[in-house]
Amino acid sequence: MKASLKMSALLGGAVAAAVMLAGCGGSTQATSGSPGTTPKVKTLSDGVLNVGTDLTYPPYDMLVDGKPAGFDIEFMDAMSKELGLTPKYQDTRFAQIVAGIKANRYDVIASTLYVSAGRAKEVDFVPYFQTGNSVISPASVDGPATAQDLCGKRVSVVTATVIAKLLPAGESDKCKAAGKDAITVNEFPTDPEATQALLSGQVDVQMTDAAVGKTVVEKSNGRLKISSNSLIYPIAVGLAVNKANAEMKQGLETGIEAMKKSGKYDELLKKYNLEPADPAVVDASMKQG
């Protein structure tokens, strides 16, 4: 899981095929993006932004036809242009990815790394978006928009995720306190199985990671929609740099601001059903272990 809050298993079909293409940790992939004329920050390799990422987590990080793809790849391609660099992606398994930045194997981590107090002791974060959960419902009904709208509903989720614990406990307690029925949670090993339960009428809705949910809806041939109106249980996600590399941290922060001005930042977040990192969410994430 991406930290203790990684919300879901991988999708089936084309997405699962992308996962099977992922190489072993340590392989290096480069994109064909055009660099700027003058690098704005120093990097480990002249003119190249070395990016550590685990290419086994679609739709954020994956291999498609042998090439890096997904939200983080598109984000860092755009970032590299702002910094006047050519991006090069080093496929690294998530368990070793922080150790790699500390050992200067790459300049930055872009791998859906959740912000936390524990990780902030090892790396410096540059928050660049927040994810969370979305509710998926049949396209033909007015589905739940918030977590409390799930009261009395049957909800499919992936086993052992945070929402599998939150919904039948704390969230259902709120339902009961409001005089409503508790949430019935049905757990499944994978997202495709949770989606199939929704399509077959075993449950009323599905809850999963926001970007994963968008992919589910896109592959449903119009049968499903995202009914929630904002991220549920949001968590901040950060680019990570070596604590000794203040120049890179500042460069990434400047690059994000440039992407916001150009419109590329909002374009990518909208494409993947994500949100800008809210300072309050960043603060709350930093208080987690």
- For the entire predicted model, the pTM comes to 0.81
Helices (H) and strands (E) in the chain, counts: 11, 12
Q: Which one is predicted more confidently, 5 or 72?
A: 72
Above 60 in pLDDT, residue 273?
yes
Above 50 in pLDDT, residue 229?
yes
SS3 169: helix
Q: Which residues pair with 37 in a beta bridge?
A: none
Q: What is the DSSP string of 204-269?
A: SEEEEEHHHHHHHHHTTTTSEEE--SS-EEEEEEEEEEETT-HHHHHHHHHHHHHHHHHTHHHHHH
Alpha-carbon distance 94 to 96, whole Å?
5
List pLDDT tens digits, range 236-262: 999 999 999 999 999 999 999 999 999
According to DSSP, residue 192 is labeled H
According to DSSP, residue 96 is labeled G
List pLDDT tens digits, range 21-79: 333 445 555 554 444 468 999 999 999 999 999 998 899 999 999 999 999 999 999 99
What confidence tier does 160 reach under pLDDT thresholds 50, 70, 90?
A: confident
49, two tokens: 């932004």
Q: Which residues pair with 238 in a beta bridge?
A: 127
Above 90 in pLDDT, residue 190?
no
Nearest to 11 by CA among 137, 209, 199, 190: 190
How long, in residues, is the chain?
289
List pLDDT tens digits, range 75-133: 999 999 999 999 999 999 998 999 999 999 999 999 999 999 999 999 999 999 999 99
Contact indicator for 238, 127 with CB cutoff of 8 Å: yes
User: What local confidence, expressed as pLDDT, does residue 30 receive?
Assistant: 58
Q: What would the mean pLDDT of 189-209 be, rounded to a whole number?
A: 96
